[in-house]
A and B are shown apart, each in its own frame.
Chain A
Amino acid sequence: MKILIVDDFSTMRRIIKNLLRDLGFTNTAEADDGSSALPMLEKGNFDFLITDWNMPGMTGIELLVACRASEKLKTLPILMVTAEAKRDQIIAAAQAGVNGYVVKPFTAAALQEKIEKIFERIEAAS
């Protein structure tokens, strides 16, 4: 399981990376915004994407839209971990095809639960 973590704050990337390690996911890579993440996703064989929304350059929602428009990435599971907490924004993310949404500040348990739920759904669908 190869996971890409996208956030402009290195602190948050590190927190998520550590949490994933605790959950047994050790194969992770990092990017600091959508425009650096997208080529990594197109080239590498990532199984899962965790992205922030508010980033300079390409935002998380733009990255989400770009992934869904890409033949290779249209089914990539995407979890948004963000401080953006407006209902309109969450609806927009859902409509754009996000698989899960976690608002910051979040707990380790919440992140774990959302990740597990996403994989359960993928297994059920396949």
Chain B
Amino acid sequence: MPTSQEMSLQDAADLAAEHFTMALRDRTRALMSSLEGNDLATASELIRQINMTRDETLYHEVGRLTRALHNALRDFHLDIGLHASAKVEHELSEMVDARSRLNYVIKMTEDAANLTMDRVDEATPIVQTLVDSSADLKRDWHAFVSQQSTLSADQAALFDRIDAYLAKVADDGQGIHSRLTDILMAQGYQDLSGQVIKRVIELVSDVEKSLVRLVKIASNVEAVAGIQSPVTVKTQLDAQQRIKAEGPQMSTASRKDVVSGQDDVDELLSSLGF
């Protein structure tokens, strides 16, 4: 015979329900016969017993649920002050830890993005100086060459090479500049990934809060046994919800309610008269 601790919560609940059903059956038979025999005193005593058994079963179940939740929360090492006397293994709850890890990811990507942009900011004027000075030099060089009355074939070839080189420096400088802009734009990943991570942090917080709330509700056995009206969940989308920020959308290709890129945005806006 397994102890109640070794039994799963479901098994225990099934067993309790079975006990209650059996007790109900036994007493119902006795109730029927006492009613048939007009023994009302015994009948009302049996009804009282049925009610008591039902209440006991309910309290028992709520108590079991409360303990199970406490255990689950202890496994999560939630920092909810419910185990002030218990030995707390971690200073921080694992949930808090998960949040701080995710915040760390945001911080690391932000630092990396900033370092990248610092270097882009440093490189941009260097490239610009090269482009500008080669343009200046090219102009002066042209003036100088045009003043030369006679050039040997070798000299002319060298002059042309220098000319082509100065033009190439300016061209390549523009190419580097546009690549630096691409590198800058790519750092936008930090914003997009950060928004997604922030939503996961919110989710973890919400789960934690819900668990804490659940354990507090369950702790208050009498309040629960008093059968309070369940929390109403508002599912209807109202105007406020429609314009609620959601962050980057996932699986956009397969979704109709989400635009798939700037072209889609432009199309939608032009259909609105933009």
Please tell me if A87 contacts chain B, counting CB pairs below 8 Å: yes
Segment touching B, from A24-32, A36-44, A66-74, A102-110: A102-110
Smallest distance from the beta carbon of A90 to chain B beta carbons, Å?
Answer: 5
Smallest distance from the beta carbon of A119 to chain B beta carbons, Å?
Answer: 15
Please tell me if A55 contacts chain B, counting CB pairs below 8 Å: yes
Chain B interface extent, by class: 35 or more
Chain A 2-26: CB-based contact to B (< 8 A → 1; otherwise 0) = 0000010111101100110010000
Smallest distance from the beta carbon of A42 to chain B beta carbons, Å?
Answer: 23
Please tell me if B252 contacts chain A, counting CB pairs below 8 Å: yes
Please tell me if B220 contacts chain A, counting CB pairs below 8 Å: no
Chain A residue nearest to B114 (CB atoms) is A11
Docked CA distance A113–B243 (Å) = 26
> What chain A residues lie within 8 Å of B192 (beta carbons)?
83, 104-105
Chain B residue nearest to A12 (CB atoms) is B191
Chain A interface extent, by class: 35 or more
Q: Chain B binding site: helix, strand, loop or mixed by DSSP?
A: helix
Kindly name the residue among A11, A15, A105, A106 whose own CB sees the greatest number of chain B CB atoms within 10 A: A11
A15 touches B117 (CB 8 A): yes
Docked CA distance A117–B138 (Å) = 36
In-complex Cβ contact of A54 among B195, B252, B257 (8 A): B195
**A90-B245 contact, Cβ under 8 Å, with A11-B191, A54-B195, A105-B189:** no
Docked CA distance A110–B120 (Å) = 20
> What chain A residues lie within 8 Å of B259 (beta carbons)?
85-87, 90, 103
Please tell me if B175 contacts chain A, counting CB pairs below 8 Å: no
Please tell me if A94 contacts chain B, counting CB pairs below 8 Å: yes
A53 touches B245 (CB 8 A): yes
> What chain A residues lie within 8 Å of B187 (beta carbons)?
11, 14-15
Q: Total A-B pairs in contact (CB under 8 Å)?
A: 112
Segment touching A, from B22-30, B148-156, B266-274: B266-274
**A54-B246 contact, Cβ under 8 Å, with A14-B117, A94-B274:** yes
Chain A residue nearest to B186 (CB atoms) is A105
In-complex Cβ contact of A19 among B184, B246, B248 (8 A): B184
Q: Which of A39-84 contact B (CB under 8 A)?
A: 53-55, 59-61, 83-84
Smallest distance from the beta carbon of A28 to chain B beta carbons, Å?
Answer: 15
Chain B 242-274: CB-based contact to A (< 8 A → 1; otherwise 0) = 110111110010000111011001001100101
B110 touches A11 (CB 8 A): yes
A87 touches B258 (CB 8 A): yes
A55 touches B262 (CB 8 A): no
Smallest distance from the beta carbon of B57 to chain A beta carbons, Å?
Answer: 47
Chain B 195-226: CB-based contact to A (< 8 A → 1; otherwise 0) = 10000000000000000000000000000000
Please tell me if B121 contacts chain A, counting CB pairs below 8 Å: yes
B117 touches A59 (CB 8 A): no
A101 touches B269 (CB 8 A): yes
- Other A-B contacts than A7-B191, A106-B188, 14 sampled, CB-CB below 8 A, are A12-B188, A15-B184, A15-B187, A15-B188, A18-B120, A54-B246, A60-B245, A84-B245, A85-B258, A86-B246, A86-B257, A87-B257, A89-B243, A89-B246
